[in-house]
């Protein structure tokens, strides 16, 4: 059996795939924790209705974005809108920098359709 995409550390609910997790109405995107030294080192943060928080590494969502990861860094420059500095900020950003993919993925995940009957197991 293939490894699970994510298991809740609190209640041990298992999501077999990323799509299953994103479609689960008991899971809510709450932010992104940036790693300012590594654009792929950040974490997408989700709350599960059991009360626990799930942290999932940015590479698990990279394929959802068309933005280049090798764009120049703009953090701390006039071209930076500062969204990445606030982990609960889910707003899009107009900057074309190395973290632009994060802002695009946040919008995709925020708008992911939730299922009526989630297929997650283990509760």
**Does the residue 74 lie in any domain?**
yes
CB burial of 70-89 (b: ≥16 within 10 Å; e: otherwise) equals: eeeebbeeeebeebbeeeee
* Alpha carbon separation from 47 to 39, 57, 77 (Å, rounded): 23, 15, 32
**Does the residue 20 lie in any domain?**
yes
CA dihedral 56→110→5→34, nearest 10 degrees, is -10
- Quote the pTM value: 0.87
Q: pLDDT-derived band of residue 123, with 50, 70 and 90 as boundaries?
A: very low
Q: What is the residue-averaged pLDDT of the chain?
A: 90
**Does the residue 115 lie in any domain?**
no
**Does the residue 75 lie in any domain?**
yes
**Does the residue 118 lie in any domain?**
no
**Does the residue 1 lie in any domain?**
no
**Does the residue 122 lie in any domain?**
no
Domain that holds residue 30: 6-110
**Does the residue 100 lie in any domain?**
yes
- The count of domains in the chain is 1
pLDDT of residue 14: 97
State phi, psi for 53 to the nearest 5 degrees: -110, 135
Model pLDDT for residues 9-33, shown as the tens digit of each residue = 999 999 999 999 999 999 999 999 9
């Amino acid at each position: 059996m293939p490894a699970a995409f994510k298991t809740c550390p609190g209640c041990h609910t298992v999501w077999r795939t990323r799509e299953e997790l994103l479609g689960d109405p008991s899971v809510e995107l709450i932010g992104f924790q940036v790693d300012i030294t590594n654009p792929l080192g950040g974490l997408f943060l989700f709350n599960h209705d059991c009360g626990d928080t799930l942290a999932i590494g940015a590479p698990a969502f990279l394929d959802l974005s068309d933005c280049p990861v090798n764009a120049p860094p703009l953090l701390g420059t006039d071209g930076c809108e500062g969204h990445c500095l606030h982990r609960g900020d889910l707003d899009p950003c107009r900057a074309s920098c190395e973290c632009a993919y994060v802002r695009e993925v946040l919008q995709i995940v925020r708008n992911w359709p939730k299922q009526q009957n989630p297929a997650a197991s283990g509760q």
